[in-house]
Amino acid sequence: MTRILFVCTGNVFRSLTAEYALKKQLEGQGGFHISSAGTREAPHITVREDVADYLLQKGLDVSPHQRTLVTADLVEQTDMVVAMNTDHQKILHQRHGVSVPLYMEACGKGALPLLDVDDLFTPDEFYAPAAIRHIRQIIDEIVEAAPALSARLMAER
């Protein structure tokens, strides 16, 4: 069983999207356990309704998702840990001593970070049209890159 873990900050947007996009790509293929986790303890954070709705339009039903916090045990039990942004790479290295690729890098698209809403917008702007466009663009990038990661994983079997 190959275990893959996607890591972002809150585990309610980027890593969640990567998890469900790759699960969809590998549907019907045995031998993979795909999950996601966040670096920040924030039990009050949930998947935004607009994010869940947009993901559903992409064929990804994230309603069963439960936020998870990345832990040393989780990292140790995983074959491939993938960070969504450079800050996650740094946190994983500092806290768990692992060097991991960025998502786009793992997909063969180059070491491109996927920025969160709070990297670009103030809390007052999180639901502004520009922020919503950004969220959708990042979701699109993650979903569109997932087939390349799936192909890579299948080739490495």
- Do 43 and 68 form a contact (C-beta atoms < 8 A)? no
**What is the three-state SS of 96-150?**
HCCCCCEHHHHCCCCCCCCCCHHHHCCHHHCCCHHHHHHHHHHHHHHHHHHHHHH
Residue range(s) defining the domain that contains residue 9: 2-155
What pLDDT is attached to residue 142?
Answer: 98
- pTM of the entire structure? 0.97
Q: What is the pLDDT of residues 38-87, one digit of tens each?
A: 999 877 788 999 999 999 999 999 999 999 999 999 999 999 999 999 99
Q: What is the pLDDT of residues 135-156, one digit of tens each?
A: 999 999 999 999 999 999 999 9
List of residues 6+ apart from 52 with CB closer than 8 A: 62, 63
Residue 121 belongs to a domain with what CATH number?
3.40.50.2300
Q: What is the pLDDT of residues 86-98, one digit of tens each?
A: 999 999 999 999 9
Counted domains in the chain? 1
